[in-house]
Amino acid sequence: MKELLLNEIEEIEEEFLPDDIERKELDIPNISRRDVMKHFVRLSQRNYGVDTGFYPLGSCTMKYNPKLLERVASMEKINYTSPLQHPSTVQGNLEIMYRLEKALCAITGMDAFTLQPAAGAHGEFTGMLIAKAYFEWKKEKRENVIVPDSAHGTNPASARMAGFNVIEIPSKDGRVDMDALRSAVDEKTAAFMLTNPNTLGIFEKDILQISKIIKDAGALLYYDGANLNAIMGKARPGDMGFDIVHLNLHKTFATPHGGGGPGAGPVGVKEFLIPFLPVPRVMKNGDEYELDYGSKLSIGRVSRFFGNFGVLVKAYAYILMKGGNGLSEASSRAVLNSNYLMEKLRHIGYEVPYYGRRMHEFVLSLKNFKERGVRAIDVAKRLLDYGFHPPTVYFPLIVDEAFMIEPTEDESKQTLDAFAEAMEKIFHEDAELLKSAPHGEMGRVDEVKAARELKVTWKDLR
């Protein structure tokens, strides 16, 4: 019996890699499994993630991703289904999408959502295609999309990709310049794309007036809701007058992201734009969930199937886990953490342009460091030596030497204090020390080269 078993095992080993697919010319070391494991685990530990430290990357909402969500998304009934299955066999999956859509409507004040877009930028592009289809249907020739100069770079890119001309307007005191907006809007305006709170973390308090200007001109108001983390359960873009919104589920609704990982950028619209949404739409008929391909005005599909379903499941589970009050509380804490940290850094001497209350994030200007020959990138790199992931740098573009910090709701006071302490030390440090940072395991890398000449290898190339 024992022998038989051993024989079988040998056979399996032999069959494991057929000769004809084995590429002998590859220079792969022949080492034990244990050594392979040690190598890759060691490499992974050199990586920095939300589960290993503070990650205040502004505009990216690197919040804690509850591990329970991974378990839910990898449950057999969810993970082992195919988008090609007949709807009658995946009723549960359709129900999740249906309910997620309803939850997002409740959170944003919109009337319907498509869950297909796979990222924020993809959502923007989808939103712009909807705007285009709408005006084509109305037989109105509107070719311009207006964006403020504080906009995320994807906004003008998405509008352009959808075939619109992009008109940029300046900001005033960190908000939309109302006069500039008034003079940019005319009968050729298709949409105004706005982030609120904007990329400086400032709430656009004139939003109702902005909405009126856009509506009076017959144009659409587009909401970049990538970062909803300040206003969940507090204010709704739908109530502010937005006609189209996109959300980043991977940011606000707790899916691990970065490094190009799967995301979801659902797009919500007001009632009058529902016919233009991508198909199929998940509808409920009695107790049955169905796929509806009916609308003749639909822009069609923007995803081969239903989008990144795993991300949708995680977002829905996160919403259920938090509940309405929990989401609202998350926003309160995100805003509190951001203002607490901003005040601490301001007291050290860091400059906060357009100083005032902030929402979920704030932006410093490190332009005074330039006198010493130090730039924002140097301070960012130096933070690595103190064990912190750097904030976003050089965005938004309207702030000189921008340093954009988003602490998120999950960080403790101790963590924020420790970060402020590191920032205080750095504030007084020698210019040469900063300019040559980081001094740890890896020195300063040439980022452009690293991005352009990616070397994917098992080798330790240091």
Ligand X SMILES: *Cc1c(COP(=O)(O)O)cnc(C)c1O
Cα Dmax for the chain:
88
Question: Among 171, 195, 308, 408, which residue sits at the site for ligand X (rule: CB under 6 A)?
Answer: 195
Shortest Å distance, C-beta 260 to ligand X: 9
Shortest Å distance, C-beta 164 to ligand X: 17
Buried b (16+ CB within 10 A) or exposed e, 65-93: bbeebeebbeeeebeeeeeeeeeeebeeb
Residue 200 binds ligand X, judged by CB under 6 A? no
Size of the chain in residues: 462
Q: Determine the residue with CB nearest ligand X.
A: 120
Per-residue DSSP letter, 57: B
Shortest Å distance, C-beta 136 to ligand X: 25
Tokens for 387, please give them. 């064990």
Measured distance CA(129)–CA(127) in Å, rounded: 5
User: Which 116-155 positions form the footprint of ligand X (CB under 6 A)?
Assistant: 119-121, 152, 154
Shortest Å distance, C-beta 204 to ligand X: 13
Residue 224 binds ligand X, judged by CB under 6 A? yes
DSSP string, 315-342: HHHHHHHHHHHHHHHHHHHHHHHHHHHH
Are residues 435 and 378 in contact, defined by beta-carbon separation less than 8 angstroms? yes
Minimum CB distance to ligand X smaller for 274 or for 399? 399
User: Which 50-79 positions form the footprint of ligand X (CB under 6 A)?
Assistant: 59
User: Which 240-299 positions form the footprint of ligand X (CB under 6 A)?
Assistant: 248, 263, 265
**197 upstream amide cis, omega within 30 of 0:** yes
Shortest Å distance, C-beta 36 to ligand X: 33
The residue count for binding ligand X (CB under 6 A) is 13
Tokens for 227, please give them. 């970062």
Tokens for 415, please give them. 């963590």
Shortest Å distance, C-beta 227 to ligand X: 5
User: Which 328-387 positions form the footprint of ligand X (CB under 6 A)?
Assistant: none
Residue 391 binds ligand X, judged by CB under 6 A? no
Tokens for 273, please give them. 């734009």
Helix crossing, 413-427 with 376-385: angle to 10°?
A: 120
Shortest Å distance, C-beta 120 to ligand X: 2
Token look-up 């940019």 returns 184
Measured distance CA(100)–CA(312) in Å, rounded: 8
Region binding ligand X by CB under 6 A among candidate stretches 222-230, 319-327, 328-336, 427-435? 222-230
Region binding ligand X by CB under 6 A among candidate stretches 25-33, 115-123, 308-316, 337-345? 115-123
Are residues 350 and 374 in contact, defined by beta-carbon separation less than 8 angstroms? no
Minimum CB distance to ligand X smaller for 195 or for 339? 195
Binding site for ligand X (CB under 6 A): 59, 119-121, 152, 154, 195, 224, 226-227, 248, 263, 265
